[in-house]
Amino acid sequence: MILNDFLPMNREDLNRLEWESVDFVLVSGDAYVDHPSFGPAIIGRVLLDAGYKVGIIAQPNWNDPESVKVLGTPRLGFLVTAGNMDSMVNHYYVSRRKRTTDNYSPGGEMGLRPDRATIVYTNLIRKSYKDMPIIIGGIEASLRRFAHYDYWDDKVRRSVLFDSGADLLVFGMGESQIVEIAEFLDNGIDVKYIQHIPGTCFITDDLSNVPGAIEIDPFEIVSTDKIAYAKSFKVLYDEQDPIRGKIIAQKHQNSYIVQNPPARPLERKDFDWVFKLGYQREIHPSYLSQGVPAISEVKLSIISERGCFGNCSFCALGFHQGRIITSRSHESIMEEAQEIITDKDFKGYINDVGGPTANFRNPACEKQLKHGACKHRQCLYPEPCEHLNVNHEDYAELMKKLREMEGVKKVFIRSGIRYDYLMYDDSKDFFVDLCEHHVSGQLKVAPEHIDQTVLDYMGKPSGKLYGDFVKTFDSINASLHKDQYIIPYLMSSHPGSTIKSAIKLAEYLRDINYTPEQVQDFYPTPGTLSTCMYHTGLDPRTMKPVYIPKSTHEKAMQRALLQYKNPKNYDLVYEALVLEGRTDLIGFQDKALIRPRNEKRQQPFKSGKGTPSGKSTQKTQKRR
């Protein structure tokens, strides 16, 4: 069933569609945006296409049980998601200070969803619908499916499935799981017997019916024993593969959370199908007077793939989307491009064609499709695997087709480019195309750091490779007579980063004459290897100790060093240099970072001055 309209949000919408009721009510922490970049829209339309009527209750009043009754009682169940972001990340900076805006809410207004939205919404529904099946999903549920360290509470919390009281948890992207769940419920199967679907978690009191499960240490142990936590995390980390992954169980008091292996990535034809389901590609009309900021960046952009085999330690993609790439066909992408071209807001520019990593269009190697991603080897780190398929031909061909479409002036690539993968390609044809056609004056890449110890903990390539990338970028742009710049994303206070590491990065920034406008402090979010390091002080891959910069003052010093030219940071930079015995960097010599105390720098701070190629740059955007 293709609905050329918005999914219903209230009784008036139901009447307009001539629906008496719905099969599922989807409760979301985000405003309703009917676009394939938003999970609730995808899940709602996938179910609709499978023959089920779905209504959406966006950002209900969590203090009012009546707010989840506006669509009546669903025939089959409730679906609950916190939205496109974890609600705690959505609400708080890494400093734990409250954010002032919420890009996923009408008008950017903060405070329209609760902290820990998945738990709050599910408990709210339970007050009125005690026996109704409730399935939770989305990024918040996915990354909190086991006992997990919670940065905001600074403790290990139980699985969100226990705290919410939901019946099932869907992790990963969810399209195949939700349709299978719907079919079982529609056939009269009690939700408590739906325990075998890949990409789902359930609760049981007895593991005798779960043969072959790997049991990791229970919540009561990992919540107090950091060694046990690290070892258990390593098991979870190793088994997140749809082909070779095992069932995993973890006891919480007298019950178990059981995770089935991840769902297999969608086949290309199915991935194409997800984007053909009648999306209105707009915010719901009820928000027209306020707008929803999150639509602005994606409305004229195209998702071309999912998954990432980059496996950076601080990224949760491997735990959520997995390491096996799924990409859409050229035909599907061009059909969406044609929709964008006819949009009233289109001015000739497609903002982005990409995904988690824009230049990953195919699985890392043929082996992944048969045997899964390697358990004890990475595709790109510390060196590219000998079996890695490095090829940009398909992506280059796709981008050429798009930029030659009638009405298209420019097609940009603004999602992440893995510069190491780009450099490993012996052919530089795509690199030339990228610089000539697809950079909007600035290319954003993520070296993150320059100190090799820190890069090793991050799972990132060497600083030398980044330097080679910069030289190649500059050389190509010079040959094209283009004045374009690199904007490097940098991270301070990652596990393993010391004051000495931050000074090394500051010296590098001095040498390339670049001052970042903003620096991202490491943010310990659920589901990442780096967060496990942060909590335990151990690298779960080796069980060796890792230095963790945890004090607010030290983190401030590390961040200040990366913006040492800013007069506001002078005292912190001075303290850090004295602390590390690097007073050689205080003075009037060319290599000095700051002047002596009685000769503070008088020139005003100019953010973003210089780039790795020595050129001036423009204002950078803030990274989440």
Contacts of 361 (CB under 8 A, 6+ apart): 304, 305, 325, 327, 392, 394, 395, 398
pLDDT at 605: 47
pLDDT at 600: 52
Answer for the pair 118, 82: CB distance below 8 angstroms, yes or no.
yes
Q: What are phi and psi of 77, to 5 degrees?
A: 160, 180
Q: In the chain, which segments carry CATH 3.40.50.280? A: 11-207
Q: How far is CA 97 from CA 88, 100, 347, 470, 516, in A?
A: 11, 9, 38, 35, 22
Q: In the chain, which segments carry CATH 3.30.750.200? A: 446-624
Residues 87-99 have a mean pLDDT of 96
pLDDT at 609: 45
pTM (2 d.p.): 0.93
Residues 321-331 have a mean pLDDT of 95
Closest C-alpha to 617, from 427, 435, 441:
441
And the tokens for 193?
């017997």
Angle, alpha carbons 116-120-126 (nearest 5°): 150
pLDDT at 613: 46
Q: In the chain, which segments carry CATH 3.30.750.210? A: 300-440
pLDDT at 611: 46
CA distance 321 to 87: 19
Question: Which one of 1.20.1250.20, 3.30.750.200, 3.10.450.50, 1.10.10.60 gives the CATH number of domain 446-624?
Answer: 3.30.750.200
pLDDT at 3: 84
11-207 classified as CATH 3.40.50.280: yes
**Residues 274-319: tens digit of each pLDDT:** 999 999 999 999 999 999 999 998 999 999 999 999 999 999 988 9
β-pair type (410-411, 352-354): unpaired
The more confident residue out of 531 and 603 is 531
Residue 30 has pLDDT above 50, yes or no: yes
- Reported confidence tier of residue 324, pLDDT bands at 50, 70, 90: very high
Could you count the other beta carbons within 10 Å of the beta carbon of residue 89? 20
- Reported confidence tier of residue 111, pLDDT bands at 50, 70, 90: very high
β-pair type (148-150, 155-157): antiparallel
- Reported confidence tier of residue 413, pLDDT bands at 50, 70, 90: very high
Q: Return mean pLDDT, the chain.
A: 93
Residue 604 has pLDDT above 70, yes or no: no
And the tokens for 507?
């010296």
Question: Which one of 3.30.750.210, 1.10.10.10, 3.30.70.890, 3.10.20.90 gives the CATH number of domain 300-440?
Answer: 3.30.750.210
Residue 622 has pLDDT above 90, yes or no: no
**Residues 449-463: tens digit of each pLDDT:** 999 999 999 999 998
- Does the bond joining 382 to the residue before it have cis omega, within 30 degrees of 0? yes
Query: Strand (E) positions, 130-260?
Result: 134-137, 148-150, 155-157, 168-170, 200-204, 214-216, 248-252, 255-259
Q: Which residues pair with 54 in a beta bridge?
A: 24
